[in-house]
Amino acid sequence: MIRNAIPWPNGASCACSITFDMDADSLIHIARPRDGFNRLYPVTMGRYGPTTALPRILETYRRFGLRQSFFIPAWTMEQYPDAVEAILREGHEIGHHGFLHEDPTVISQPEQRYWFEKALEVHTRMSGTRPVGYRAPVYNVTQGTIELLIEHGFRYDSSLMADDIPYLMRTGAGELYEVPPHWGNDDWPAFAHYEEIGYMMPVRSPSTGMAAFFEEFEAAYEAGGLWMPVWHPFLTGRLARWRLVEKFLEDILENRRVWFAPLKEIVEHVDSVRLKGGAVRIEQLPYYDRPQVLSSRAS
């Protein structure tokens, strides 16, 4: 197996960052704008994240001495200020995740700018600092999204999937790091059963569903790479699933050479490696400047 060329701090064999997208009940409101407010089952399913799962997650992090990254829609931050305060008090990172979990690919660029900047105002007001990281709802980044991030001084995006480890994206507007997720490290396929927003996954048992993430870790560890699950408190924060996560964390922290850090610190490290002449891959954007279509029919 080809090993990652980026050296991690303190001789670690793998960089790790558990990222949570804490969407709460923003999902039902954006998916069903007419009557989502009155659909109590999906509202309560989402509320489970900041009210019940989050204290459990934070207690685990506290016990293991971990600081990690959360991506939260600004609307969710306003609805659950106690959850935001608890995350910040423990030293975790909060990244930009839209305003009401709106999909950038289905709104105009002026609309995207409006909601992006409105969310940025909420982040700044509630946390006292501007976020440096962004993850698009549904991972749906456009070229306009990248340009907004660069314009507003963001250090990284975590939505695109061109590598296993962080890489640099260059555009005519500037530079931005990408910390790539992928669906195999996302808990949505394993656990999301949510008819109201168009997902009816066959929910797996905790041991079967979580095994996929643990196998992803083993591959990342062997390659000296990055393990970055993308989880949601109302899915992976459920009792039986989180019980397995706790056991897994205890084992790797005791027996493996791992470096756990918020994404912003991982990006800072990668940037320092690049500035010293280390091997960090660069991608030039945009990939395409027009639709790629068949120009004529075969006769």
What would the pLDDT profile of 75-85 be if each residue is shown by its tens digit?
999 999 999 99
pLDDT in tens, 247-262: 999 999 999 999 999 9
CB-CB contact of 248 with 216 (8 Å): no
Instruction: For residue 100, report the phi and psi dihedrals to the nearest 5 degrees.
Output: -120, 40
Query: Which residue ranges make up each domain of the chain?
Result: 9-284
Specify the pLDDT at position 127: 96
Q: Is the dihedral of CA 128, 130, 131, 132 positive or negative?
A: negative
Query: What element of type H or E holds 49?
Result: none
Task: Give the CATH superfamily of 9-284.
Answer: Glycoside hydrolase/deacetylase (3.20.20.370)
Alpha helices, DSSP H only, in the chain? 26-31, 40-48, 54-64, 74-79, 81-89, 109-127, 143-151, 188-191, 206-223, 233-236, 239-255, 263-275
Q: Rounded to an integer, what distance in angstroms lies between the CA atom of residue 70 and that of residue 55?
A: 13
pLDDT tens per residue, the chain (299 residues)?
778 889 999 999 999 999 999 999 999 999 899 998 999 999 999 999 999 999 999 999 999 999 999 999 999 999 999 999 999 999 999 999 999 999 999 999 999 999 999 999 999 999 999 999 999 999 999 999 999 999 999 999 999 999 999 999 999 999 999 999 999 999 999 999 888 877 788 899 999 999 999 999 999 999 999 999 999 999 999 999 999 999 999 999 999 999 999 999 999 999 999 999 999 999 999 999 999 998 776 65
First-to-last alpha carbon distance for the chain, in angstroms, is 47
CB 102 within 8 A of CB 76: no
Is residue 199 classed as helix, strand or coil in its secondary structure? strand
CA 297 to chain centroid, in Å, comes to: 42
Q: Peptide bond before 286: cis, by omega within 30 degrees of 0?
A: yes
What is the sign of the dihedral through the CA atoms of 73, 74, 79 and 85? positive
Helix (H, G, I), strand (E, B) or coil at 193: strand
| d(C-alpha 181, C-alpha 259), whole Å | 18
Q: What pLDDT does 299 receive?
A: 53
